[in-house]
Amino acid sequence: MAEALDPTAWGATPYDALLLLSFGGPEGPEDVVPFLENVTRGRGIPRERLKEVGQHYFLFGGVSPINGQNRELLEALRTDFAGHGLDLPVYWGNRNWAPYLTDTLREMVKDGRRRIAVLCTSAYASYSGCRQYRENLADALAALEAEGLQVPVVDKLRHYFNHPGFVEPMIDGVLRSLAELPEDVREGAHLAFTTHSIPVSAADTSGAPEAHGDGGAYVAEHLDVAALIHAAVRERTGVDHAWRLVYQSRSGAPHIPWLEPDICDHLEAEHAAGVPAVVMVPIGFVSDHMEVLYDLDTEATAKAAELGLPVRRSPTVGSDPRFAAAVRELVLERAAVERGEQPARCVLGSLGASHDVCPVGCCPARAPRPAAAGS
Ligand SMILES: CC1=C(CCC(=O)O)c2cc3nc(cc4[nH]c(cc5[nH]c(cc1n2)c(C)c5CCC(=O)O)c(CCC(=O)O)c4C)C(CCC(=O)O)=C3C
Ligand SMILES: [Fe+2]
């Protein structure tokens, strides 16, 4: 097994590059409206919600932290790869802002890259976190083909929500946040694991068809990560902190059901129930981007202050070296699979490793569109 994952034996063969594929964000006030237009094209988000979200960005000078965080992750990946003798170039492209995916893929093709492993900055199954990226890849490949360029093969790496390199940095973060709470409320603190709300219909159909059902793979995967972190914290502190999975950043029309409860409503309910403190744990996100900075650090934190409820927000993985190492392992694991080997899968929790290739019917879109890197 170890041999299959040794970069000095086969390298990442058959891959000749890794593509970091992310959301993208504005880098100045003049970018905010065009960015939001890119995000919401054809998605039916109410105008009021868009104005409101624009204000979140303007509050931070029109700059989302996400691009800077991806630049740091790129550096962390290059450092990790170089330190482990893995000679694999790493590129970066986004769905909604420069560097745009199509431009990056064009550059990759011009550099002679033919077989590309893709890491998305979304750890879980769902239309927004998985299939939509595959649709973006299909669109970009079609654009290159229309330009007469040779189309590379792209393989999306499996979901990594339950990879130790994703979970362990978050466990440390929760322990740090608990330690920062005033001592008299620390032991009674509850953990609020939080992720992006999505329409209930999208949650129910998330993941492979056999996982479909109430909450689908999206909710099941988050519950697994939450239970893992909770158990590790109990083991390390000896305290059994009560926990719940809650949601944030809801958009869409009010009459369409989205996953609940919202973090702010949850904080209110916790306070009313006499809970002395809460640690918000943003397990749904890969870096401390705007959903974390605004929805948790600004809005939910203000709500808690209004209630007089002590809260802390624990960090996401960002460019933690353990996450960079996890990405290397995911590349080498998948490379071994593509060479016909059966590598060991590094995985925690009760769900096992997610599929390498999305089956037909995985995280379906409202209206079917071409998607790359699937069956
Ligand atoms: C599951 C999920 C993730 C987590 C997985 C992943 O990371 O992919 C995520 C991440 C992100 N979402 C982001 C930003 C936005 N998401 C929006 C809208 C939406 N997100 C959705 C879902 C998700 N989103 C959904 C179902 C919608 C409704 C419309 C639609 O179906 O598309 C809108 C429109 C306005 C609004 O309504 O909020 C914005 C501006 C940013 C960038 C932050 C930054 O700039 O730092 C990031 C990382
Ligand atoms: Fe989003």
Are the CB atoms for 132 and 95 separated by under 8 Å? yes
Checking if the pLDDT of 139 tops 80, the result is yes
Q: For 7-160+319-338, give the CATH class.
A: alpha beta
Nearest CA to ligand 1 atom 43: 290
Percent of the chain with pLDDT over 70: 98
CA distance 182 to 359: 48
Checking if the pLDDT of 332 tops 90, the result is yes
pLDDT, position 5: 64
Terminal-residue alpha carbon distance, the chain: 27
Angle between helices 164-180 and 216-237 (to 10 degrees): 50
Banded model confidence at residue 7, pLDDT cuts 50, 70, 90: low
Tokens matching residue 21: 């594929």
Q: Interface pTM (ipTM) of the complex? A: 0.95
pLDDT, position 3: 46
Q: Is 159 annotated as a binding residue?
A: no
Nearest CA to ligand 1 atom 3: 196
Are the CB atoms for 85 and 8 separated by under 8 Å? yes
Checking if the pLDDT of 207 tops 70, the result is yes
Banded model confidence at residue 2, pLDDT cuts 50, 70, 90: very low
Query: Average pLDDT of the chain?
Result: 95
pLDDT, position 1: 41
Checking if the pLDDT of 12 tops 50, the result is yes
The CA distances from residue 94 to 7, 99, 284, in Å, are 27, 6, 19
Q: Quick one: average pLDDT of 41-62?
A: 89
CA distance 194 to 14: 37
Q: Render pLDDT for 166-193 as a digit per residue (tens, 0 to 9).
A: 999 999 999 999 999 999 999 999 999 9
Ligand nearest the Cα atom of residue 97: 1
Q: Quick one: average pLDDT of 6-25?
A: 90
Tokens matching residue 135: 């649709």
> What residue ranges line ligand 1, CB within 6 angstroms?
23, 25, 36, 39-40, 43, 45, 49, 53, 64-66, 121-122, 126, 128-129, 196, 198, 249, 251-252, 284, 289-291
pLDDT, position 145: 98
The β-bridge relationship of strands 311-313 and 278-281 is parallel
Q: Render pLDDT for 83-93 as a digit per residue (tens, 0 to 9).
A: 999 999 999 99
For the chain, residues classed under CATH 3.40.50.1400 are 7-160+319-338, 164-313
Q: Quick one: average pLDDT of 69-85?
A: 97
Amino acid identity for residue 345 in this structure: R
Q: Render pLDDT for 234-260 as a digit per residue (tens, 0 to 9).
A: 999 999 999 999 999 998 788 999 999
Q: Render pLDDT for 92-109 as a digit per residue (tens, 0 to 9).
A: 999 999 999 999 999 999
CA distance 184 to 121: 37
For residue 291, give the ligand 1 atom closest to its CA.
Answer: 43
Ligand nearest the Cα atom of residue 36: 1
Which has the closest alpha carbon to 22: 98, 79, 75, 87? 98
Q: Does domain 164-313 have CATH number 3.40.50.1400?
A: yes
Whole-structure pTM value: 0.96
Checking if the pLDDT of 328 tops 60, the result is yes
* C-beta atoms surrounding 152 within 10 Å: 18
Are the CB atoms for 6 and 59 separated by under 8 Å? no
Banded model confidence at residue 375, pLDDT cuts 50, 70, 90: confident
